Amino acid sequence: MKKLAAFSAPILPGKTEQWLKFIGELNGAKSAQFKESRKKHNVRERTFLQKTPHGDFVIVTLKGDDPITGFAAFASAQDEFTDWFVKEVQDIHGFNLRDMAGTPMPEMIIDSGEV
């Protein structure tokens, strides 16, 4: 059975347009690289934009045999695509994915079961 993990990250003030451009590249010119990077680490990523009165947030879901380990392996990879991805995350969200190793991920506290 596949496991699910999720986390949220604020978009820095004034950076939503840059985030939309970043997502446009992931869905467009860099789509094959994005999909291959996740496939290589056995992670399916789904990302959502949540607009709130307190600012915009990104909600990321990761699904796989071990999504946390897979995502950590991606974040620590040393290749052109990952370097670009990590830089964009730093610019848009204000944190370095590569510094996240060992940071606790959110804990699932309720699951209504399969539908």
> Apex CA 28: angle with CA 22 and CA 31, to 5°?
90
All domains of the chain, ordered by start, with CATH? 3-95 (3.30.70)
- Give the residue carrying structure tokens 């999909």: 35
- Largest Cα separation within the chain, whole Å, is 40
Per residue in 32-44, pLDDT (tens digit) is: 999 999 999 999 9
pTM exceeds 0.75: yes
Whether residue 100 has pLDDT greater than 90: no
Per residue in 21-32, pLDDT (tens digit) is: 999 999 999 999
Cβ–Cβ under 8 Å, residues 6 and 59 = yes
